[in-house]
Chain A
Amino acid sequence: MNQKKIGGTKKKVTDALAMLLMIIVFCAFMFPFVMVIINSLKQKRDIIKSPFSWLFTIKGLSFDNFVKAFNQMNFLNAFKNSLVVTVTATVLVTVLAAMLAYYIVRNVNVFSNIIFALMVASMIIPFQAIMIPLVSVYGGTLNILNHRLTLIFMHTGFSMAMSVFMFHGFIRGSIPLALEEAAYIDGCTHTQTFFRIVFPLLKPIISTMVIMNAMAFWNDFLLPSLVLTDKKLLTLPLSTYSFYGTYSADYGTIMAGLLLCVIPILILYVALQKQIINGVVAGAVK
């Protein structure tokens, strides 16, 4: 009894210390963003001459940068493009990678080992090394660049290895074979078993992979810039690059544009945060 009490006090103290540490680290993590937010409301001259000054000490506080960024990015259209690409590719890669990883885990043989090894190895291919071959194959030979579908397909392909790798680890570690065997006895087919029994159990890792992939697709610049040239199809990151001039950058607009791009994905993240927790809790109840 007594010991428990001491433990309780001790826990309180360490918790407070932990809290303090978290707050300090958190501030360090947030510092650049605070700078972005503050400076997105300033005029270029103030940004350059006094980047650190607080808002009330300078004269030109305004939302002009946001208006300008919104306009120049053609925000709504770019937002729609980004949304379509990100959502479709994320759904595709999540489902396909989970299935492929499941197959690899449950069919241990030379063939699936080779596939898995190949995928893991491919994660370390520098993108620069396949950039030009990629456009030669898809543009020069197949001539299917400049379509959203092509970009979605490529996003799916590029993130496949990493996603399979993550699903593979999770399925191998946390999905008991017994459940599936029970399902087979009940007469379920493989596909039914996967989607009814296994897939729901993957929820924690799915949330993680959804946020990671969605974020990567949302922010990616290099691949879309190679695939999309038609102005109507440009995604958000592509459209913010209009603010970098030849010799100097339009900082205020860049920062405002940046915030406009980040907010949607931040919302997704905060929403999925809950999912991740729920998923883990549900998993623990089993």
Chain B
Amino acid sequence: MKSSNKGKDFCVFALPGLFCFLAVVMVPFIYGIYLTLTDWNGVSSVKNFVGLSNFAAVMRDAQFWKSLLLTFKYVIAVVVLVNVIAFLLAYILTRGIKGQNFFRAGFFTPNLIGGIVLGYIWQFVFSRVFVSIGETTGWSLFEISWLSTPNKAFAALVLVSVWQLAGYMILIYVAGFMGLSEDVLEAASIDGASGWVKMKNIILPLMMSSVTICLFLTLSRAFMVYDVNLSLTGGAPYGTTEMAAMHVYEKAFTSRQFGVGQAEAFILFIIVACISGIQVYTTKKREVEA
């Protein structure tokens, strides 16, 4: 596309998609930023400009920072586990074992169910099925519901998120592995590279573009976890598992501090943007051309 007609190309290729994106995402987002500077409560017909006082209120909201800290813990756990598990499973599933398509489909199924419903299913599993197993077998691990102690409830959240996200990432890693040229791998085998060495020196560098994508996706999704948080634990027990996105929602609608909630959402956005930016920058640098 090096020739003339720049303007026409832009209109044909870029404009329609760009228009959808700008109209649906950017316009409300910018309007939302404007709202953080007002005292609007979500319903009122008057909006008074209040400057940065909503942001000052965010600074005072200890619960928000606590939920943010918890979100960091959660993100680290989820990102590491999801990517390690998905990478390994995708590797195994591209080696031509029997029924690999079946397995791929199976691992993906958690994604076929929306987050809220998924949370309810797992809530049922944790609070009823596991407890019922505990009663029958006497295993102390399942004696009481996982959702009633803070640490186990947190573990439950991580587990469910990993369970759901891993299938998604497997798909991307599988696509990556299948894009690897057989020649390169074969050449490596002939050179005598095997097992771990092959993985570390040849496969991993070639897979870096998939890794970049998967890390970015898990990172952003984990930071914004809401559905599963709401339906699995709802912040319980006693508010110890309330993550940032859920806190934002609660602040805006349950506590009815719309401007503050909106400001918190904006701060969350800035934080996630910085962290993902750093991640993409560092992993991109390590990508090599195949």
Task: Give residues in A with beta carbon < 8 Å to B.
Answer: 15, 18-19, 21-22, 25-26, 29-33, 35-36, 39, 47-48, 50-52, 92-93, 96-97, 99-100, 102-104, 106-107, 112, 115, 118-130, 132-134, 136-137, 153-154, 156-158, 160-161, 164-166, 169, 173-174, 180, 184, 190-191, 194, 204-205, 208, 211-212, 215, 219-221, 237, 240, 244, 249, 251, 254-255, 258, 261-262, 265-266, 269-270, 273-274, 276-277, 280, 283-284
Contact = CB atoms under 8 A, between A and B. Distances in A.
B: interface residue count bin: 35 or more
A90 B73 CA distance: 35
Contacts of A30: 106, 109
B20 A161 contact: no
A120 B98 CA distance: 38
Nearest to B93: A22
A174 B176 CA distance: 11
A99 B14 CA distance: 6
A54 B157 CA distance: 27
A18 B89 CA distance: 9
Contact of A123 (B95, B116, B220, B268): B220
Nearest to B287: A173
A129 B113 CA distance: 24
A251 to B, nearest CB: 7
Given A128-B249, A173-B290, A265-B112, A52 B136 contact: yes
Given A19-B98, A26-B103, A128 B226 contact: yes
B9 A103 contact: yes
Interface in B148-179: 163, 167-168, 171-172, 175, 178-179
Contact of B28 (A32, A130, A205, A283): A130
Contact of B21 (A19, A47, A102, A122): A122
A96 B16 contact: yes
Nearest to A104: B14
Give the residue among B24, B98, B124, B249 with the most A Cβ atoms within 10 A: B24
A50 B117 contact: no
A112 B6 CA distance: 12
Contacts of A258: 113, 117, 121
Contacts of A174: 179
Give the residue among B117, B175, B262, B272 with the most A Cβ atoms within 10 A: B117
B23 interface: yes
A164 to B, nearest CB: 7
A122 B273 CA distance: 9
Given A124-B223, A128-B245, A35 B125 contact: yes
B213 interface: yes
A124 B109 contact: no
B246 to A, nearest CB: 9
Interface in B106-145: 106-117, 120-122, 124-125, 128-129, 132-133, 136
Nearest to A97: B17
A127 to B, nearest CB: 8
The 7 closest A-B pairs by CB, nearest first: A157-B24, A129-B265, A219-B114, A100-B17, A96-B17, A133-B28, A103-B13
Contacts of A106: 1
A35 B10 contact: no
B283 interface: no
Contacts of A51: 124, 128-129, 132
Given A99-B12, A129-B266, A208-B172, A166 B116 contact: no
Given A51-B124, A52-B136, A215-B111, A280 B179 contact: yes
Contacts of B92: 18, 21-22
Contacts of A99: 12-14, 16-17
A180 B25 CA distance: 33
A239 B9 CA distance: 43
Nearest to A264: B112
Contact of B128 (A15, A48, A120, A240): A48
A103 B10 contact: yes
A204 B175 contact: yes
A133 B112 contact: no
Nearest to B262: A129
Given A35-B124, A126-B248, A153 B112 contact: no
B44 interface: no
